[in-house]
Amino acid sequence: FRKPLDGVTHYILHRGEQTEAPENSVPAFEMAGRNGAEFVETDVRETADGVLVVSHDDSLLRMCGEDRLISEMTYEEIKQYPIINGRNASQYPDNLIPTLEQYLQCCNKYSMTPVIEIKSNLNQNGVAKFNQIIKKSRKSPVVISFKEEPLIMLRQINRTVSIQWILRDQITSAALNECVRYKFDISAQYGCTYRNIIAKAHSKNIKVALWLFTDSSIADCYKNWGADYLTCERMM
């Protein structure tokens, strides 16, 4: 058994309680809070008029049935298309795509730690606005992204926020060196991450976040290997 860097493995609920309500919606975040989630993950994109909204996809097609790009719509336009797909969607008829601020209000209400994935290629103004909004979180948020540029810009204006750089493939030595340089932690798929890689990251004081678990016995294995964060599809 290995220990995580701060002694405890944290479980992150992916896109809210999506087994009971549509993913990345206020009802899904509310349900996560009521069910006692400690950390809840979401995805953030920028609208055409610079509003930061919660959506995994770049288009409204899958969740709202409207084949249009979020980046090309204003927030007022997006509000015309409620979420019609996802678990129990019909029970929430006026379920609109939330803003980043609405998600944070929900996290504050239930004392959940926000885990926010930046999906858009935010420019410096976008990153500055994002940084101002996350200051409204009562719990210190965790900011994650596959995109390194906005994370570097965020680190330059916020020295203390917890940042995780997400990799599509195995955690390499070069990636760990990059994390040391910018004071990032690292996030990767559990299937290509092994015990020795977690130990190597820890030796450089880098926390390791792994995704995406659906099986609690597999999650337990990585917990025993000392993973710092485990992102799960449901409460474990």
Taking only the tens place, the pLDDT of each residue in 28-55 is 999 999 999 999 999 999 999 999 999 9
Q: From its phi and psi, is residue 151 left (phi > 0), alpha (psi between -120 and 50) or beta?
A: alpha
The fraction of the chain above a pLDDT of 90, given in percent, is 100
Residues facing residue 209 across a β-bridge: 187, 229
Count CB atoms within 10 A of the CB of residue 215: 11
pLDDT given for residue 86 in this prediction? 98
pTM over 0.95: yes
Q: What is the mean pLDDT of residues 76-93?
A: 98
Task: Indicate if the pLDDT at residue 209 is higher than 90.
Answer: yes
Q: What is the mean pLDDT of residues 79-84?
A: 98
Please state, rounded to an integer, the average pLDDT across all residues of the chain.
98
Q: What is the mean pLDDT of residues 133-144?
A: 98
Cβ-contact 88, 96 below 8 angstroms: no
Cα angle, residue 17 at apex, residues 14 and 20 outer, rounded to 5°:
140
pLDDT given for residue 1 in this prediction? 87
Lookup: tokens for 130: 């994002």
The fraction of the chain above a pLDDT of 70, given in percent, is 100
Lookup: tokens for 150: 């906005």
pLDDT given for residue 37 in this prediction? 98
Q: What is the mean pLDDT of residues 199-228?
A: 98
